[in-house]
Structure 1
Amino acid sequence: MTDTLPPPETFSDRLLGASIPARDTRLRLVRLDRTLGEILAAHDYPPPIRHLLAEALVIGALVGGLIDEAEGQMTMQAQTTAGVVKLLVCDYRAGAIRGYVDFDGDRLAELGANATLEALFGSGFLAITFDVPERGGRYQGIVPLEGKSLSEACETYFMQSEQVPTLVRVAVQAQGDHTIAGGILAQHFPDGEVGRERLHVRLSHPHWQHVEVMTSSIRHEELLDQEVPLEALVWRLFHEEDEVRVFPGASLTRGCRCSLEHYESVLGRFPEQERAEMRDENGAILVDCAFCSKVFTIVT
């Protein structure tokens, strides 16, 4: 007989999945450290923007982690035409995450250190797009960017666009230049179209109400404590359940997919006259990747 070693515990930069069959609920948990630092280091973001992007990347990992397909991709975009933050975008594909924020620095300085979501975006919208080739391709939902945080806006997305009760909790902590963030997502199992209950019925179901209360009880310091494995958080919340299934998710890495070959391929689709207008005095085209802040020099 061969002894089977238990899987290693999950601490940082890896997703953890779980489900509670009797409650018709699935969970995703994540804590970002090294990967978050690599993404934030690409730009000299001021503290409010670092916090905002950290929250977005945690949510992106949690929501993206719901995709089973290895080639599936989730893209989350928050945008406004009149806000301090013009564009926030992050995406997830098979454990690779990336994100970027375009903002007005002068207007941000006027807001102070504790700017609210409304102050940052004004009246904007949140769009979440899933590209899942094996399940019908691409679909997108768009909701108003409302609430006190991106987490609340994400919950609104799932309620309005997916008709699935969802709870998201995110914690972010900055100590000098080092930022860590963690989060948990609890979601009622999506129903099939046949026999689907109406949303308000399932929101008041005692199973979901119990999960909502227990998940909401998690503290920020628990999500951020790197000495506590994510499996222990699941146990703390739901140890009284008859069955809780826990399974490791994808390892997370900075996922910028820019490359010289990629940009050469993209520019090759433009007519020669347009490429000529892009060239500088040395005959080169400079392409700046917004995600990783690299500049590529391309001679075509």
Structure 2
Amino acid sequence: MRKNPSCFGRWKNCEPTIVSEIIETWFDQPLVFTIAARHVRGRLVRLGPVLNTIIAAHNYPPVAEKLLAEALVLTVLLGSTLKDESGQLTLQAQTGGGPIELLVCDYRGGELRGYLKFDAERLAEVGSDPTLFALFGEGFLAITFDQATSGERYQGIVPLEGTSIGTAAEHYFEQSEQIPSLLKLAARHDAEAGCVAGGLLLQHLPEGEVDRDRLHLRHDYPQWDHARTIAATLKDEELTDPATSLETLAWRLFHEEEVRVAPGVTLSRGCRCSNDYFAGVLAQFPEAERQDMADDAGNVVVDCAFCSRIFPIPLEEIATHS
């Protein structure tokens, strides 16, 4: 990271090259920004190596890969808003009769993982650009925030409606959070970088808790409308362009504003599976049930859906955790 003492972390009417000298954020790290004058906060992220590590564990067809990639981007955009670094954001989409049976992703302290279960034959019939209804039927999207420090949990559930999973998440913000929001998600294959996915989350800053109207009760916030209109011009090709830094994208959109920027937590693949972890979980079952689970070799075999690995856990190892 390179710093310019005179303008590190913010710019107004700067040249793009100056912005590039301030910070360079390319892959697997969110860029957090605020536009104080317009009461706007936002996040940009582009996934590359971490995304390819996650999807490499499975043989996903293109439609499923794109859906999971966009869902992982959405998970990062939402999870990185957690103030509790040990907290977890879980995104889960379940089918209402479509070929996608389950989609689950989670984010915890920069660790990211995701998994997609589907009916291959039925998925092949929906074409290359299916609607959410074609993928999920009358499914739903559940977004769960777990605050580890306080033990609080909050969950919002909305129908899987609209043109993309990003559209469904916007409905979540409208109905559950009551915060005006814009979401843009995109994913594609790059000849050199593999699967690349990017996203933008833009929100009106909450205000009006004391002596003001609550934000969601008002319908005339031109500052937000202006910022949203500009952000909506961001193209999918820009979000997924490996040659364009996230700072440059933010500058292109808001170079007439004073924008404060800061790098978020660096992302990593976060599958938490291990023999020791699974042994601890299995130890919570009664011994008789553990005996019934075991195979002829005396192992309880666990299949981790996230990383597509098999873990044979010996009964005696499980017993040490009891």
TM-score by length of 2: 0.88
Q: Which residue of 2 aligns with 1:256?
A: 271
Of the three residues 106, 127, 138, the one matched with 1:91 is 106
Does structure 1 retain, via aligned residues, the 8 Å contact 2:47–2:73? yes
- Residues of 2 paired with 1:170 and 1:38: CA distance? 19
Q: What does residue range 1-300 of structure 1 map to in structure 2 within 5 Å?
A: 8-134=23-149, 137-175=152-190, 178-191=194-207, 193-194=209-210, 195-197=212-214, 199=216, 201-202=218-219, 204-241=220-257, 243-300=258-315
What is the rounded CA distance, in whole Å, between the counterparts of 1:169 and 1:281 in structure 2? 51
Which residue identity is paired with 2:248? A
Q: 1:268 to 1:192 in 2, by over 3 A?
A: farther
Which stretches in structure 2 are left out of the alignment for 5+ residues?
9-20, 316-322
Contact 2:208 2:214 in 1 (8 A): no
- Structure 2: distance between partners of 1:212 and 1:136: 34
Task: Verify the 8 A CA contact 2:75 2:106 in the aligned structure 1.
Answer: yes
Percent identity of equivalent pairs:
51
Cα separation, 2, equivalents of 1:169 and 1:110: 26
Q: Distance in 2 between matches of 1:114 and 1:276?
A: 47
**Aligned-pair CA distance for 1:266:** 0.4
Aligned to 2:12: none
Distance in 1, matches of 2:268 and 2:122, equals 32
Query: How many Å apart are 1:112 and its aligned residue?
Result: 2.3
For 1:21 and 1:278, the matched residues in 2 are separated by: 57
Secondary structure of 1:112 counterpart: coil
Matched position secondary structure for 1:298: strand
Query: Unaligned stretches of 5+ in structure 1?
Result: none
Structure 1 position 216, deviation (Å): 0.2
Aligned length: 296
**Does the residue aligned with 1:250 lie in a helix, a strand or coil?**
coil
RMSD: 1.8
Counterparts of 2:151 and 2:254 in 1: how far apart (Å)? 34
Distance, in Å, in 2 between the alignment partners of 1:165 and 1:149 is 18
- What TM-score does the superposition give when structure 1 sets the normalisation length? 0.94
